[in-house]
């Protein structure tokens, strides 16, 4: 079907909204779901065509799409500020849903921590450093970004993380950062930073129970590898 046909002119079975109603949300492609959120394209392109073009810019990866700013989305012809805000809000809800605390609420393994944090970090084009703060039972108190950097590194201030831990009355922390390159092996800087965190935390009776390096769909655990 030509992409310049507006959705309302399509056969009912081809319209994303009607398709969702009659066949279920699982039957829709990512582009069709985006088209429902975007609602309209522009004079020479349907909402579905616009959605496909936007997805193509991130190689089809929704996690990368969620990192776009309102301004970046508005560079696509047919995307205004209201559409961009609505789209980013929907993507953020999806990330938050995936990052809900575990049913048990307890972070007792590297797998549990990775499952929780990976929706935010797995496909980022830049490095971010996060800290998961836990109570005595290793239940979640907070999960917060400590720093954001470039493609290969980010600057981390241990004092800020420990100050926040004291404010939250946390007794344990899990450190997490991503490697956009996909290389999971910890660098010397990663190892030195982990040691710095462990030593500083011990002085105030807080335990660093793991440090995860996250890449797309996988991770490296300092604890699992006996490096803590």
Helix (H) or strand (E) holding 142: strand 140-148
Main-chain phi, psi angles of 130, to 5 degrees? -120, 155
Q: What is the pLDDT of residues 124-183, one digit of tens each?
A: 888 999 999 999 999 999 999 999 876 555 789 999 999 999 999 999 999 999 998 889
Residue (of 19, 53, 43) closest to 33 by Cα position: 19
Burial of 99 by CB count in 10 Å (0-12 exposed, 13-18 middle, 19+ buried)? middle
Q: What is the pLDDT of residues 42-86, one digit of tens each?
A: 888 888 899 999 999 998 888 788 888 999 999 999 999 999 999
Residue 194 has pLDDT above 80, yes or no: yes
Whole-structure pTM value = 0.65
> Would you list the DSSP string of 166-218?
HHHT-SEEEEEEE-TT---SPPHHHHHHHHHHHHHHHTTT-EEEEEEEEETTE
């Amino acid at each position: 079907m030509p992409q310049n046909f507006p959705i309302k002119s399509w056969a009912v079975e081809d319209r994303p909204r009607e398709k969702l109603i009659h066949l279920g949300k699982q039957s829709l492609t990512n582009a069709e779901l985006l088209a429902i959120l975007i609602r309209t394209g522009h004079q020479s392109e349907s909402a579905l065509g616009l959605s496909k073009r936007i997805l193509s810019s991130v190689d089809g990866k929704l996690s990368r799409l969620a990192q776009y700013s309102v301004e970046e989305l508005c560079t696509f012809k047919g995307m205004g500020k209201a559409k961009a805000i609505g789209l980013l809000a929907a993507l953020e809800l999806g990330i938050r849903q995936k990052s809900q605390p575990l049913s048990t609420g307890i972070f007792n393994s590297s797998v549990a921590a990775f499952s929780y944090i990976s929706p935010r970090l797995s496909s980022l084009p830049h490095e971010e450093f996060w800290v998961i703060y836990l109570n005595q039972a290793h239940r979640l108190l907070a999960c917060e970004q400590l720093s954001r950097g470039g493609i290969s590194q980010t600057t981390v201030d241990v004092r800020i993380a420990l100050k926040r831990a004291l404010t939250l009355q946390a007794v344990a922390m899990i450190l997490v950062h991503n490697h956009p390159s996909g290389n999971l092996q910890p660098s010397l800087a990663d190892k030195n930073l982990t040691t710095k965190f462990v030593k500083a935390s011990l002085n105030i009776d807080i335990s660093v129970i793991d440090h995860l390096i996250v890449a797309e769909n996988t991770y490296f655990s300092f604890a699992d590898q006996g490096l803590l």
